[in-house]
Amino acid sequence: MTEVLNVSGVGKGYPVFRNELARFARWFGLPTRPETQFWAVRDVSFSMRKGEVLALIGQNGAGKSTLLKLITGTVRPTEGSVAIDGRVSAILELGLGFNPEFTGRENVMHSGGMMGHSGGDLRRLMPEIEAFAEIGDHFDKPLRTYSSGMQARLAFSLATAIRPELLIVDEVLSVGDAYFQHKSFSRIRKFKEEGVSILIVTHSMGDVREICDRVILLDKGVVVRDGPPDEVVDYYNALIAERENANLTVEQKRAANGWVVSRSGTFEVWIDSLELVDAETGSAVSSARTGQLVELRALARLGTDIPTLVFGFMLRDRMGHVVYGTNTWHTGQALEDLHAGDEVMFKARFRCDLGPGSYSVSPALVSSSTHLENNYEWTDNLLVFDVVNFDRPHFIGSSSLDADFTIEREDGAASATLEEGNATE
């Protein structure tokens, strides 16, 4: 449980002076005060264990990048302190302060030197850096001829050439193409297995759920939530909806079965009950068979008159990945002109072609195709059910695609020996 990073009470204020003379006077000890101080980050404390992967999420301007810079050391904190045990490698924004006139190779030497690597080390690592970046002949051409994706490749390749104790990655992964993203993720995963602590900023909630152990949500420079990915991400999504709908409330709790239930909305309409039943018998199902025809029944009640109502639901697997989701807007069944006191029963019938495991249902009542316009109610993971594979051949994964094998076999000398080999096992 060694700590690699300890951030305690860190804040970064950008002073605004009436004129720069006041700033200079302050360097010489004169008691001039800045007119105002803009705090990009304030009172942030957290620590990271060895091998932990932590994501910083939050809206633009929440202070994520500033916090990374404070941890990296390019920006000095106004208050508080950052303690790091070991080598840090950081990829902030695009590139690594590359010089556009230098070639890729020269930039590796130059920026690598700035990162504290010796010339010998860099020359030794050069073939590997060149191979990983995969930018071909461009490696020996001036950087100004590079595309942004190529710069990101070079930067990532250089920054991760030597295994650090703490790797800091600011959204660079979103720049490269899918191939390189995949390759970068593999390297990050490998680092993770080797015990490197990783701190990333990302807007991709998929990435967050996939590789992170923990998520910190920043808002207006302050830590709002710090916890497991599913909990923080759902809270974040609810928060985004809240921004769009001023009089919305967000509540969150972890249910006994381990799923986090986040409930947000304005609740002019609310979900009174939600159940999953067998489509034929109508009896409640808590464990569905793969391939069973089931029906999701949601009863909505109206507290006020509303012009349009859309019901949607989403199935998630245990990792939080969305398996399926749709709503009555997409199916062309949005309701109009509803009145206070109305009751609406939504029944969604579907074949449960899911792999074995635990799944959750998140229902939503909204007024259009997304929950950002009018979010009446959005509840993550309200209902949880298990799927067991009872009568289909064994398969893995969350989708039962029911593959049908056709095997064409021809007897010959080669296959005959193979057969013998198998038989002796």
* Residue 325, amino acid: G
Q: In angstroms, rounded to a whole number, what is the distance separating the alpha carbons of residues 219 and 200? A: 16
Among 4, 39, 57, 72, interactor with other proteins by CB under 8 A: 72
Which two three-digit tokens encode residue 410? Answer: 């021809």
Among 2, 9, 18, 24, interactor with other proteins by CB under 8 A: 24
Nearest distance from C-beta of residue 168 to other proteins, angstroms: 10
Does 86 bind other proteins (CB under 8 A)? Our answer is no
Burial class (CB in 10 A: 0-12, 13-18, 19+), 169: buried
Among 97, 206, 258, 307, interactor with other proteins by CB under 8 A: 97
Q: In angstroms, rounded to a whole number, what is the distance separating the alpha carbons of residues 232 and 239? A: 10
Q: Which CB sits closer to other proteins, 86 or 258?
A: 86
Q: Which CB sits closer to other proteins, 113 or 341?
A: 113
Q: Which CB sits closer to other proteins, 96 or 383?
A: 96
Candidates 113-121, 184-192, 277-285, 377-385 — which segment interacts with other proteins by CB under 8 A?
Answer: 113-121
Q: Which of residues 124-163 bind other proteins (CB under 8 A)?
A: 142
Which two three-digit tokens encode residue 132? Answer: 């990983």
The torsion angle over the Cα atoms of residues 356, 361, 362 and 363, rounded to 10 degrees, is 150
Among 61, 73, 86, 258, interactor with other proteins by CB under 8 A: 73
Picking from 247, 245, 224, the residue whose alpha carbon sits closest to that of residue 236 is 224
Picking from 328, 393, 388, the residue whose alpha carbon sits closest to that of residue 358 is 388
Among 18, 37, 86, 114, interactor with other proteins by CB under 8 A: 114
Q: Which CB sits closer to other proteins, 95 or 355?
A: 95
Q: Which CB sits closer to other proteins, 121 or 353?
A: 121
Among 1, 31, 60, 76, interactor with other proteins by CB under 8 A: 76
Which two three-digit tokens encode residue 165? Answer: 């104790």
Picking from 134, 130, 73, the residue whose alpha carbon sits closest to that of residue 107 is 130
CA distances 368 to 58, 219, 313, 333, Å, are 25, 27, 13, 11
β-sheet bridge partners, residue 16: 36
Q: Which of residues 363-402 bind other proteins (CB under 8 A)?
A: none
Does 166 bind other proteins (CB under 8 A)? Our answer is no
Q: In angstroms, rounded to a whole number, what is the distance separating the alpha carbons of residues 339 and 346? A: 17
Does 301 bind other proteins (CB under 8 A)? Our answer is no
Among 7, 11, 54, 111, interactor with other proteins by CB under 8 A: 111
Q: Which CB sits closer to other proteins, 8 or 99?
A: 99
* Residue 140, amino acid: D
Which two three-digit tokens encode residue 335? Answer: 């309701």
Which two three-digit tokens encode residue 131? Answer: 């191979």
Does 98 bind other proteins (CB under 8 A)? Our answer is yes
Q: In angstroms, rounded to a whole number, what is the distance separating the alpha carbons of residues 154 and 134? A: 8
Q: Which CB sits closer to other proteins, 151 or 262?
A: 151
Nearest distance from C-beta of residue 142 to other proteins, angstroms: 8
Candidates 103-111, 184-192, 252-260, 284-292 — which segment interacts with other proteins by CB under 8 A?
Answer: 103-111
- Size of residue set near other proteins by CB under 8 A: 37
Q: In angstroms, rounded to a whole number, what is the distance separating the alpha carbons of residues 393 and 267? A: 44
Q: Which CB sits closer to other proteins, 22 or 224?
A: 22
> Do the Cβ atoms of 297 and 272 come closer than 8 Å?
no
Q: In angstroms, rounded to a whole number, what is the distance separating the alpha carbons of residues 324 and 398? A: 10
Q: Which CB sits closer to other proteins, 13 or 325?
A: 13
Q: In angstroms, rounded to a whole number, what is the distance separating the alpha carbons of residues 377 and 396? A: 34
Does 258 bind other proteins (CB under 8 A)? Our answer is no
Does 9 bind other proteins (CB under 8 A)? Our answer is no
Picking from 237, 167, 154, the residue whose alpha carbon sits closest to that of residue 200 is 167
Q: In angstroms, rounded to a whole number, what is the distance separating the alpha carbons of residues 295 and 278? A: 6
Does 110 bind other proteins (CB under 8 A)? Our answer is yes
Nearest distance from C-beta of residue 38 to other proteins, angstroms: 10
Nearest distance from C-beta of residue 110 to other proteins, angstroms: 6
Q: What is the contact surface with other proteins in residues (CB under 8 A)?
A: 14-15, 20, 23-24, 26-28, 69, 72-76, 78, 88, 90, 92-93, 95-99, 101-102, 106, 109-111, 113-116, 118-119, 142
